[in-house]
A and B are shown apart, each in its own frame.
Chain A
Amino acid sequence: MELDTKDDEYMYSGHVGCPGCGAAIAMRFTLKALGAKTIVVLPACCWSIIAGPYPQSTLKVPVIHSAFETGGAVASGVRAALDVKGDTETTVVTWAGDGGTFDIGFQALSGAVERNEDFIYVCYDNEAYMNTGVQRSSSTPYGAWTTTTPGQDWKKMRKKNIVEALVAHRIPYAATANIAFPEDLVRKVQKAKALKGSKFIHVYASCPTGWRIPSEMSVKIARMAVQTNIFPLYEVENGNKYTINYKPKEYLVREYFKLQGRFRHLTDRDLDQIQEMVNEDWEVLLRKAAERV
């Protein structure tokens, strides 16, 4: 595989991410696509820990640690400060988990993109509050076990469709990406960097620890999420132009679920029901992308 990036690395080895961490892979690809002229805004999330405590840092670019709910607001401020300095080259990136995006940081994010602040907001999605011990978020998928949805109380609500929420803001660019598809991810980050205004990228980042999967399977499972249509790769320009970027192999969703400990309790009936939900979502997306009438 060859990426359309330089060989430069903007991350150091020796960070404290778990073995097989999907979020670490996501960061690595994203920074390779963005280059050195980048400032990362980090609201509370796994990456707050992975990036290391001051004066240490895992990243070779400047990092601002911020409060959980402020990803959108801090990025707006940093952007404004750079503009005052006349620095239009540097890209401001908010790098937040699903908790800091779907739940706690949602109002700041919504406000920032409503103002069409010129920054990229990346949500690396590991589908729960993993850093604090696997509590469910509004990104946790239907059917999943977490420490706050234990045993038979597994999560019975569907995952929030965050990309659609952002698309509703009519921002210039919103897209999904996945660590198992680096070329697609890098292309989308580079495209976002080149656009003015608010850009949102939703990156699927598997979590071996929280999902109860073997560390070596994290990319395989991420790829499976795309192939089963659970996490389609697509992008939306200006809130209305949909493009599906990858034609999946359309494996059955149970192939994806059976690999993960967090779904072990699901029965065949549950899986059939989930298959229907996935099919429904996929049909909706196909219609939006004008691939179905």
Chain B
Amino acid sequence: MILQENPFPGVCGRVCPHPCEGVCNRREFDEAIAIHSIERFLAETAGRYDLKPILTRLAAKKQRIAIVGAGPAGLSAAYFLALLGYSCDVFEAMPEPGGVLRWGIPVYRLPLAALRSDIANIEAQNVRILTGQKIGSEFLQDAAGRYDAVFMGCGHSRTVKLGVPGEKTNAIENGLQFLGQLRQGNTIPLLGVSAVIGGGNTAIDVARSVIRCGGKAVILYRRRRRDMPAFEEEVQMGIEEGVELRELVTPLGITTDGAQYTLTLQEMKISGEDSRGRANILPDEGKTRELRVERVFKATGAEPAEDWYNPPDKTKVSLTLSHTILISPESGPALAFGGDLTNETKSVAHAVASGKQAAMALDIFFHGGMEAIVPKLAECRVGQGPSLSMEMYMEGSRRLRNTHVVSYEEINTDHFQFQPRITRPRLLKEERRTSFKEIDLKISTNLAIREAERCFNCGICNQCDNCYMFCPDIAVIREKNNNERHINYDYCKGCGLCVVECPRNAMTLREEDI
């Protein structure tokens, strides 16, 4: 089920910040379901027993598609295009696929085996990944004739310039490169204090990696902790491990005496908040501090490594979707851009979403042209956001579901008992400081089942049979296969008891049209 919609359950079960749990109805009852733990458990169980998914696949198509970049967006696009019947070649500059998953995210959050297992499943869908193939801008011309479309998922791998003196010399090291070196298997012993400039996940990853290399880490962030784009849980764990966080400071300059660097830090002050609730900041004139450190890393925002990776200006764009930009030039292959190149939120889940959206959009484009894309995608939407279902796109049974999103008020909580959410077993912080071992440990089958049983199953009948039991007129029929329930309209008096007693709002009552 998951693999029909997401080729990265092992990865997402670990590194996705699970916004789904933030809107889980169970949260208002006791605590949200630990969806990410269950996702990871399923991925691991499938791996352990070597279970192969039975995926819906469409008939083979003649079109060929090139994917540039084997990160989460590119691999997702290739995976979904393969399910839709296309043959895909993925070009990757690095010696191994994965992009930020392979070379960016530290191994204590995402072990190599988990990533490789997800990628192996993608390759098993007839996706060809060509590693060590650096693609230049001329590729877009060369691709004509060989490919009918190109998906650009090259990601953001170059760190944005800070504009601080000393940046041009080697004084300031690149955080992403540091993470990359670690993931290439290098051991980098660090002594003394490292300053990490930034407030995103990269800054946290760098700081926590510094600790694991034996150093001390100080994060310098120009806003407040609560304004950090980094996931709060990651920040919290970093601080537990000994990362020091200095808020409301920004580097002005850097000098060195050969052994140490001296950072001059401008203190910042808050002047109101922006529309998203982030602090607006101004330099607090005259207030500066100095900080002596052994190393300085910058881990501020990233941008595409080469300018031609970016989607061109608006005039040439044919269609802008929530996660993808499409271009249909007069000659040559169609172009789709995804992943960090187009996503406002730079997360793995959003990258997968862009790959899926691009795959569907290209499929529609080949059959019905640009105009057909938006209406067709609207038919495959899940919930109120931009999420799309590949199963629905392939005419699966999910199409038959009521599209109504069940709210907490619609759940009959009389039928549920309070039960605490599972706490995922973790390494102790002492163990975390000294090794790159994965922090989150496996959960047992028993725990995973218990957690899954907490699910309300909002809006989806799970044959609990409350409707059948409480019907005063024995007018709810259980089908012989035991999977379906029907109302016997000859005898139903319309009392509505079944609808109220349905714990999960899987039933509705409406007046008959006369």
Contacts and interface: CB of A to CB of B under 8 A. Distances in A.
Nearest to A7: B478
B465 A1 contact: yes
Interface residues of A, number: 29
B494 interface: yes
A216 interface: yes
B473 interface: yes
Interface stretch (A18-26, A106-114, A154-162): A18-26
B469 interface: yes
Interface string B458-481: 000000111001111111001000
Contacts of A223: 414
A19 B471 CA distance: 10
B414 A1 contact: no
Interface of B: prevailing SS: loop
A9 B470 CA distance: 13
A28 interface: yes
B488 interface: yes
A28 B464 contact: no
Contacts of B493: 19-20, 215
B464 A217 contact: no
B171 interface: no
A19 B491 contact: no
A219 B497 contact: yes
A214 B494 CA distance: 11
A3 interface: yes
Contacts of A179: 470
Given A1-B464, A13-B488, A25 B496 contact: no
Most buried by A among B470, B471, B488, B500: B470
Interface in B174-190: none
Contact of B473 (A17, A208, A219): A17
B497 A216 contact: yes
A220 interface: yes
Nearest to A29: B469
Given A1-B466, A19-B494, A24 B499 contact: no
A11 B490 CA distance: 16
A25 B470 contact: yes
Contact of B472 (A1, A2, A21, A220): A21
A19 B495 contact: yes
Contacts of A2: 465
B501 interface: yes
B499 A28 contact: no
Contacts of A214: 496
Interface of A: 1-3, 7, 9, 11-15, 17, 19-22, 24-25, 28, 179, 182, 208, 214-220, 223
The 9 closest A-B pairs by CB, nearest first: A216-B496, A19-B495, A13-B491, A20-B495, A24-B472, A215-B495, A19-B493, A216-B500, A13-B474
